[in-house]
Amino acid sequence: MTDPLDTPTDRRPGGRTARVRAQVLDAVRAELAEGGHEGLTMEGVATRAGVHRATVYRRWRDVGGLLVDVIDAAGEIDWQPPDTGSLRGDLTALNQEIQESLVVQPSFAVALMAASFHSEQAARAQTRLWADRYAQCEILVERAIERGELPTRHTDARSLLIAATAPLYHQLVLLRAAPDPQLPARAAETAVLAAAAGAFSAHREEST
Amino acid sequence: MTDPLDTPTDRRPGGRTARVRAQVLDAVRAELAEGGHEGLTMEGVATRAGVHRATVYRRWRDVGGLLVDVIDAAGEIDWQPPDTGSLRGDLTALNQEIQESLVVQPSFAVALMAASFHSEQAARAQTRLWADRYAQCEILVERAIERGELPTRHTDARSLLIAATAPLYHQLVLLRAAPDPQLPARAAETAVLAAAAGAFSAHREEST
């Protein structure tokens, strides 16, 4: 028996292949948000998606495959880093987005982090996604350099971005603190003040 | 039948009660480190500890109970924050300790974080432990204020400590970056520079 999904017409963008993927990944997100990755099963996803189990097994093989694809799909979204006109404003807006994604109940972002502790495949996909997002955000630092907001053109953009955003993840995910509406701006300002004092100067690195 | 563990002589410090607890918690740490919390079972712990299963069930009830007690035991250790003579030195030493605990294979600290995503009891115990440790570390900031290292006596010690340590957890636990031997000092310096620029000034908070 030939697989109807493998016929050429079904592989066109927006065709049945894409539609089935969208349905299945929506179901994965919903199941993850409701029950965490521990509640994620091939059967539950197939049922919720209204897709035949055999199709889910054939295309995603196992729960790890579903996790990887849902993380990869998040990377395919046309996300743009904020552009507010100042580094402080950009980092604050970025942190607000992060805080929102971690605080919303249920949080898909937190469910993925939990899953990545248990699935090596999911962890690798998540690491890739995060690397992409931080790389995309380097433009915030480049624009700040162009505007003359930083003391040197040799600023380690990634370290600055990590310093700005890490307190959000630490407070909300690991320390499980109550969300603090001031934290996004506070953490952004801390990074900007440190950057102004030369904390992320790439030259410093060479001299140590 | 009376429980031999409940006789008064067994409840003295260092008595059989304490000895059984030590054996069981050692076993929990070893099982966690080897197999993560997913591999943690009452039976596995009892066998490894050489303690009767019934004793483990009676005193810890379930895996959540074991996790809580192993986290509480970590809080009972007479841990002292570093005292190197400077805020930068203290934060660097603290970060080195954190980096070591996260990088060591297998990492008990990472296993506990993973477990806390899945056990509400364990998460609460871990949050308490972390709150205690950060509270203990506030002395680093107080000493820096006494030494005149900070621009104001009104420095929010906790925010400073979170800023100094968060990049370690973010990089090593969530982003799964390779350990960077410079990171402990780098993250400490960033926090010190931001603090010198007034980032954690408690007055700032009132004016915003």
Q: Does A190 touch chain B (CB under 8 A)?
A: yes
Q: How far apart are CA B201 and CA B132, in angstroms?
A: 22
Residue of B nearest to A156 (CA): B186
CB–CB contact A199 B187 (8 Å): no
Residue of B nearest to A162 (CA): B167
User: So what's the pLDDT on residue B206?
Assistant: 46
Q: Does B194 touch chain A (CB under 8 A)?
A: yes
ipTM of the complex: 0.85
| pLDDT tens digit sequence for A143-193 | 999 999 998 889 999 999 999 999 999 999 999 999 999 999 999 999 999
Interface of A with B in 30-89 (CB under 8 A): 36, 38
**Which 3 state secondary structure label does DSSP give B155?**
strand
Please report which confidence band the pLDDT of residue B208 belongs to, taking 50, 70 and 90 as the band edges: very low
CATH architecture observed for domain A4-75: Orthogonal Bundle (1.10)
Name the residue among A123, A127, A194 with its Cβ closest to that of B194: A194
Assigned token pair, B144: 């820096």
Angle at B119 between CA B116 and CA B122, to 5 degrees: 60
Say whether domain A79-207 belongs to CATH 1.10.357.10.
Answer: yes
User: What is the average pLDDT value for chain B, to the nearest integer?
Assistant: 89
User: So what's the pLDDT on residue B189?
Assistant: 97
Answer whether A137's CB lies under 8 Å from A94's CB: yes
Three-state SS sequence of A133-202: HHHHHHHHHHHHHHCCCCCCCCECHHHHHHHHHHHHHHHHHHCCCCCCCCHHHHHHHHHHHHHHCCCCEH
Assigned token pair, A192: 């900007």
Q: Does A207 touch chain B (CB under 8 A)?
A: no
Backbone dihedral region for residue A198 (phi beyond 0: left; psi -120 to 50: alpha; all else: beta): left
| pLDDT tens digit sequence for B175-198 | 999 999 999 999 999 999 999 999
Domains of chain B by residue range: 4-70, 79-207
Residues in chain A predicted with pLDDT less than 70, given as ranges, are: 1-14, 203-208
User: So what's the pLDDT on residue B118?
Assistant: 81
CB–CB contact B162 A174 (8 Å): no
Half-sphere exposure of A118 (CA within 13 A, CB side): 22
Q: How far apart are CA A53 and CA A42, in angstroms?
A: 7
CB–CB contact B182 A208 (8 Å): yes
* CA distance between the termini of chain B: 65
| pLDDT tens digit sequence for B75-109 | 888 899 999 999 999 999 999 999 999 999 888 88
CB–CB contact A118 B114 (8 Å): yes
User: So what's the pLDDT on residue A1?
Assistant: 41
Q: Does A117 touch chain B (CB under 8 A)?
A: yes
For chain B, how many residues are written? 208
User: So what's the pLDDT on residue B204?
Assistant: 52
Contacts of A200 in chain B (CB under 8 A): 190
User: So what's the pLDDT on residue A208?
Assistant: 42
Can B4-70 and B79-207 be said to share one CATH topology? Answer: yes
Please report which confidence band the pLDDT of residue B12 belongs to, taking 50, 70 and 90 as the band edges: low
Q: How far apart are CA B192 and CA B91, in angstroms?
A: 9
pLDDT at B8 over 60: no
Name the residue among A36, A117, A170 with its Cβ closest to that of B166: A170
Three-state SS sequence of B96-153: HHHHHHHHCCCCHHHHHHHHHCCCHHHHHHHHHHHHHHHHHHHHHHHHHHHCCCCCCC
Answer whether B106's CB lies under 8 Å from B113's CB: no
Please report which confidence band the pLDDT of residue B34 belongs to, taking 50, 70 and 90 as the band edges: confident
Determine which of B116, B170, B171 to mutate to test the interface with A (most A C-beta atoms within 10 Å): B170
User: So what's the pLDDT on residue B36?
Assistant: 80
Classify domain B4-70 at the CATH topology level.
Tetracycline Repressor; domain 2 (1.10.357)
Contacts of B197 in chain A (CB under 8 A): 193-194, 196-197
Determine which of B128, B158, B161, B162 to mutate to test the interface with A (most A C-beta atoms within 10 Å): B162
